[in-house]
Amino acid sequence: MQFAKRLACAALTFVVSNMSPAFAAREKLVIGITQFPSTFHPNIDAMAAKSYIHAMVARPFTTYDKDWNLVCMLCTELPTIENGLAKPELTADGKQGIAVTYTIQAKATWGDGVAVTTKDAVFTWKVGRHQKSGVGNIELYRSIYKIDTLSDKSFTLHFDKLTFDYNGINDFNLLPAHLEEKKFSEPGAYKNRTAYDTDALNKGLFFGPYLMTEMATGSHVVLEPNPTWYGRPPKFKQIVVRAIGNTAALEANLLSGGIDMIAGELGLTIDQAISFEKRHKQKYDILYKPGLVYEHIDLNLENPFLQDLRVRKALVHAIDRQTISERLFGGRQPVAHTSVNPLDWVFADDVPKYGYDPKQAATLLDAAGWRMGDTGFRINGQGQKLGFELMTTAGNRTRELVQQILQSQWKAVGIDVRIKNEPARVFFGQTMTERRYTGMGMYAWMSSPENIPRTTLHSNHIPTKSNNFSGQNYTSYKNPAMDELLERIETELDKSKRLVLWRQLQHIYARDLPVIPLYFRANAFILPKWLSGVEPTGHQYSTTLWVENWEIRP
Amino acid sequence: MIQFVFSRLFQSMAVIVIMSYAIYGLMGLMPGDPIDLMITSDPNMTTEGAARLRTLYGLDRPITERYLHWLEGAVTGDFGYSRLFSRPVFEVIWPALGNTAILLGSSFVIALGIALPLGILAAIKPYSKLDYSINLFVFAGISVPPFWLALLLITLFSVIFGILPAGGTADAAGASGLWERAKYLVLPIASLTLASIGGHARYMRASMIETLRHEFIRTARAKGLSQTQVITRHALRNALIPVTTVIALDFGYLFSGALVTETIFAYPGMGKLIFDAIMGNDYNLALVSLLFATLLTLLGNFMADVAYTWLDPRLGFAKGDA
Amino acid sequence: MTTRKDHPTSLVWHRFSQHRLAIASGFLLIWMGLLAGGAPLWKSLLVLDGQTVDLFMRFQPASSLHPLGTDELGRDFLARLLDGGRVSLLVGITAALFASLIGTVVGLISGYFGGRLDALMMRFTDGIISLPLLPLLIVLAAIDLSKLGVPVALINAENASLFRISIIVALAGWTTVARLVRAETLALRERDYVRASRAQGATSWRIMRVHILPNLAASIIVATTLSTGNIILLESVLSFLGLGIQPPIASWGNLLTNAQELIWEAPQLAFYPGALIFLTVIAFNFLGDGLRDALDPKTIHSQG
């Protein structure tokens, strides 16, 4: 195999020396991602690939920036209670609500020259709240029960609830009323008729720094600067986004010059990126940003073995998450102790932590009545073996690797863990949502900064047959103190008071251990040395929201 | 002849209709549905929201009812929408079909161009050194895992030598000019071709050996014709007849090959489309593109049968030897 | 085979032994079979452990402790390869046998009874042949068996993915044998001794068993050998597409698929399973080819 390595080295020199033509025309940037959007309609079917591309051709009203602060993009000033643009009020039926006023950027203009106005906002709201429009996040539009038009550029949204994040409307993606209104005349057919799919290259659909000029379904999208763009002019004359599903092929395309960079949002797995970094540090910048993707193992608390807190603690003590993070992920994916990311301002560092301590695990298990049997696995008084089924999404290589490590480490303390994986859509579609898993389910939660884990921890959100399996509390975790905290945090507008509540929440979480926290996933951005300005966000909102800052390093 | 054509057409139609139901039913047996896929990528999707979308997309109805609904539309020319691409299915299929036709067509012609001469060469002197070498070469082609071969080609020619693109199409790179466009096809065609030479060459060899045993070849030889003359003037035509049939029967395998090749080379053709559609629970797209592939195979078989009966009226049916 | 007067065993062996590649392939396969089949034994003899993970021993080069080094989780790679070989060969052989069994039954019945039944069954077979094989296998590999009423315990069994692959491949792959068997049965049933036997009042079942089936053996053996190789290849393709044998069970297919992302870091992890698949498949092809030449009555006639 020495030969292969030498061949690879020779290859590299060859490739490097062969790359010169690419430097000549550096007006174009080719980005590789692993997925192609299923639709270009911004509010139908949320998909990372679409968000990635859409952020270059349009902008949301508000979003979280790279420091995880809520900022205005299409609006001119972030409305707050302090600056008077947001006013708490009561709804007609006496509920606590709030009125929030936004003003659209004065020069915001659709690509075909029509101004972006309040009309578009009202139209978007109408589409969003219609039962048949096919919009996924209908809850946002439903909670806005009224819109007041103040002027062409200003409007007030009336919400029927008051939460601390009242001013964030990140998913309120504007639709062009002048093009889409006709298509919406028959709402049931809208999802098939929308110009975003029938006429995706129509300039009037977008108002961002770029416009789509070419699209080949399943293959690639070409973007070129939008003359009507109101912000900082973008630097590249052309951006091509290519979808290459196989990550090995994606890497080969990068090395052969077929693409210039690999997006972190939809790119290489972390171990692939680390291996890539070892070989190509000189030519590429590899940025890692641990983010709000919380990898963990849900424990089914209806499993009698798992009901015992000592067993849950022993499970965590028995696994060496630190070493996994270091050896497998080069330390790029920090170990999680609760669901709150260390980068989040509400993070509490002083929660109980369960380090790698197999002896402690053994002690706990002994105390819980699980003594070591002859087969190398622990058994209880009734002769039952201490065993669980560990499930995750089939085909996710990283998870499968971690799973096999954990299995091996649990075996060392006498816990028999059997691996059973399912395709993602079954795993999420039935196994977790209908709580059919019997022991452990390993997956990740995606969230935004200061996201309240209400649907995953509140006892009202345990999916059961009687509530038609709504809610995401798959562990069936019940703790009245937690329920109360979740409700109070949501409506607590005072930051310092909220921080105290958040700390309590994390302590209870770490003490009760309804899940085994594993680590926060990091995205790896592979960028050519000549590119600057790409700033990973670490949350679900793409780096491309700031694509106009991307430029060629002088 | 006409009666034969009509009866075959009728049979093919029957196969297609039965197939459509079978595929639809099988797709329905696949776990989860398109909405489950939406849920996995949307943290804001509520369970109520998912239920609403299911109703909207008609996914809450039983599979047979959905199939009949689809069939009703299909009869009037409405084959439904692709969920993965939000377009009517044929709008998605046509461009992919064009791409695949280029890919499969070229590799088919090249493979035959290499395989037939190899097969004939091998047949001239069975069990000679030449025969063994050809054997080794063609068997190597069909014995290597196809995705592995493709990745090897990419690693060699794109990454190490840097002379050919690793995937995609010329359009994605904005390349123009014939060679620039053709460059993108070299590796996918090469990997498809290498994998299909083996079968063709073996059929050709077997059929040629068989033909050379016939009485009329001996007569031709006795007349003093040279080996080349015997083969080109007398044996070739006869030997090609069964080969045509067998190759036409292999038509269906072409799509299987295209599936792997296109997936690795990110080539937007039918194979990749079928795979994406199945994995993405895109019922309509998967169904129609699978039917399309079946239809083309049936068409291939049908043409082979016509050619066969025409070339050799003595025989009614293809030999089972494949 | 002794029933065939014109088919002396010695001649067959003579013909077969001329095909040197086939002989070599035969030995290679026996050797592979011994290695893979005896995997637990070899592992205990060599003190190899393919299960225990050691994160400090990832990607170790070959050493006396680990003859082929370790994989991405620090497990002994030779042990993984042995285990993988057992699974791959098992799947290949079981599926091929199963497919031949179905094909033989269909072909025999169709060819022997003929008429409407034959027409119907052959139309059905043609229908299956015209299906695009791989996409169909993908659908079959992905279907949820619980929706078909298969007991959950069976679906959740540790070896479920193994059986599932064998069965679906067999369900899609029986057509070649069926056509082959039918064609030969059609010819055989018109032979004098079959007619004589029928005139003497032998049952169809007896005729098929005593007179027809033994004469089909040669073709069936050849077809089964050839398809075993193809199925091993097919398993690797399904693994590549994420639908083959699921980890933690190792197969050559999923070892190879796993390694494609590690090709630069640890090329040996990709080299060995790839080479083993290649060698095994090509060996099955040569063996099948040699057997065909040796068992083909026409070849023997012309030689004798």
**pLDDT at residue B319 above 80?**
no
As a whole number, mean pLDDT of residues B173-193 equals 84
- In a domain, residue B145? The reply is yes
A209 and A133 co-located in one domain = yes
| Per-residue pLDDT at A304 exceeds 50 | yes
Beta carbons of B97 and B105 less than 8 angstroms apart: no
Sign of torsion over alpha carbons C226, C232, C237, C242: positive
Contact C250, C259 (CB under 8 A): no
Q: Which two tokens stand for residue A397?
A: 């290589």
Same domain, residue pair A190 and A339: no
Query: If you average pLDDT over residues C172-180, what whole number do you get?
Result: 88
pLDDT of residue B311: 66
Mean pLDDT in residue range A280-299: 92
Q: Does the pLDDT of residue C190 top 50, yes or no?
A: yes
User: Are B263 and A245 inside 8 Å of each other by CB?
Assistant: yes
CATH at A465: 3.10.105.10
Is position A313 within any domain?
yes
Please identify, among B55, B72, B89, the residue that sits at the C-terminal boundary of a domain. Answer: B89
How far does the CA of residue B105 sit from the closest CA of chain A (Å)?
21
Query: Dihedrals φ, ψ of A335, to 5°?
Result: -65, 140
- Verify that B120 and B261 share a domain, yes or no: yes
pLDDT for residue C208? 87
Q: A463 and A319 share a domain?
A: yes
Instruction: Nearest by CB to C260, from A248, A275, A400: name it.
Output: A248
Can you tell me which residue has the tokens 């008077």? A84
pLDDT bucket at A57, cuts 50 / 70 / 90: very high
Residue environment code for B184-195, b if the CB has 16+ CB neighbours within 10 A, otherwise e? bbebbbbbbbbb
Whether residue C273 is predicted with pLDDT greater than 80 in this model: the reply is yes
How many structural domains does chain B have? 2
* Prediction ipTM score: 0.84
> What is the DSSP secondary structure assignment for residue A386, as one 8-state letter?
-
Select the residue of B174, B264, B268 nearest A219 (Cβ to Cβ): B268
Which residues of chain B have a CB within 8 Å of the CB of C253?
145
Residue B321: inside a domain, yes or no? no
Cβ–Cβ gap C242/A409 under 8 Å: no
- Other Cβ atoms less than 10 A from the Cβ of B137: the count is 16
Q: Which residue has the tokens 């091998």?
A: B122
Domain tally for chain A? 2
Stretch A64-72: mean pLDDT, rounded? 93
Are both A223 and A299 inside the same structural domain? no
Residue B111 forms part of a structural domain: yes
Contact A256 B166 (CB under 8 A): yes
Residue C248: asked if its preceding bond is cis (omega within 30°), the reply is yes
B151 at interface of A, judged by CB pairs closer than 8 A: yes
Domain final position from B47, B74, B89: B89
| Whether C127 and B263 lie within 8 Å, measured CB to CB | no
pLDDT at A154 over 90: yes
* DSSP string across B177-209: SHHHHHHHHHHHHHHHHHHHHHHHHHHHHHHHH
Do B235 and B113 fall within a single domain?
Answer: yes
List the subunits that have 3+ CB pairs under 8 angstroms with A.
B, C
Q: Is residue A160 located within the same domain as residue A299?
A: no
CATH superfamily name and code, C30-37+75-303: MetI-like (1.10.3720.10)
Distances (CA, A) of A366 to A312, A357, A379: 13, 14, 10
Q: Which residues fall within 8 angstroms of residue A447, CB to CB, at 6 or more apart?
A: A292, A294, A453, A539, A540, B43
**Does the structure show a pLDDT above 50 at A320?**
yes
Nearest to A314 by CA among A513, A477, A508: A513
**b/e map A308-326, b = 16+ CB within 10 Å:** bebbbbbbbbbbbbeebbe
d(CA C304, CA C300): 6
CB C284 within 8 A of CB C229: yes
By the 8 A CB rule, do B135 and C285 touch? no
Give me the long-range contacts of A97-100 (CB less than 8 A, separation at least 24): A97/A145, A97/A158, A97/A159, A97/A160, A97/A161, A97/A162, A98/A158, A98/A159, A98/A161, A98/A162, A98/A166, A99/A148, A99/A156, A99/A157, A99/A158, A99/A159, A100/A156, A100/A157, A100/A159, A100/A166, A100/A167
Per-residue model confidence as pLDDT tens digits over B187-209 = 999 999 998 898 889 889 988 98
Sorting pLDDT into bands at 50, 70 and 90, what band is C8? low
Residue B242, SS3 per DSSP? helix
Structure tokens of A2? 């020495």
Q: What is the pLDDT of residue B40?
A: 65
Amino acid at A459: S
**C142 backbone φψ class: left, alpha, beta (φ>0; ψ -120 to 50):** alpha
Provide the pLDDT confidence category of residue A422 given band limits of 50, 70 and 90.
confident
User: Which of the four pLDDT bands, split at 50, 70 and 90, describes residue C304?
Assistant: very low
Asked if the structure places residue A550 within a domain, the reply is no
Q: Domain check: are B75 and B133 in the same one?
A: no
Do B252 and B264 share a structural domain?
yes
- Contact criterion met (CB < 8 Å) for C179 and B320: yes
Which residue of C16, C136, C233, C276 to mutate against B (max B Cβ within 10 Å)? C136
- B181 and B283 assigned to the same domain: yes
Helix extents (H) in chain C: 9-18, 20-37, 39-46, 77-113, 115-129, 133-142, 152-155, 160-173, 175-188, 192-199, 204-207, 213-240, 252-259, 267-295, 297-303
Compare all CA atoms of chain B with the CA of A540 and give the residue at the minimum distance. Answer: B43
Counted residue by residue, chain C has a size of 304
Closest to A413 measured CA to CA, from A518, A304, A322, A317? A317
pLDDT band, residue B18 (cuts 50/70/90)? confident
CATH of the domain at B292: 1.10.3720.10
Final residue belonging to a domain, choices B23, B58, B89: B89
Banded model confidence at residue A217, pLDDT cuts 50, 70, 90: confident
Q: Domain range holding A339? A: 292-521
What's residue B314's pLDDT? 53
Same-domain pairing of A189 and A123:
yes
pLDDT (mean) for B227-240: 82
Lowest mean pLDDT: which of A90-104, A465-479, B234-248? Answer: B234-248
Q: Name the average pLDDT for chain A.
A: 90
CA distance C245 to C255: 10
Q: Note the pTM of the prediction, 2 decimals.
A: 0.87
Domain residues for B239? 93-315
- As a whole number of angstroms, the distance between CA A402 and CA A406 comes to 6
- Tell whether B154 is within 8 A of chain A (Cβ): yes
Which chain B positions have a beta carbon within 8 Å of A201's beta carbon?
none
Q: Which of A120-134, A135-149, B147-161, B290-304 has the lowest mean pLDDT?
A: B290-304
Q: C-alpha A45: how far from its chain's center?
A: 14
Contact flag C130-B294 (C-beta cutoff 8 Å): yes
In a domain, B320, yes or no: no
Picking from A243, A271, A302, the residue at the C-terminal end of a domain is A243
Domain match, A397 and A481 both? yes
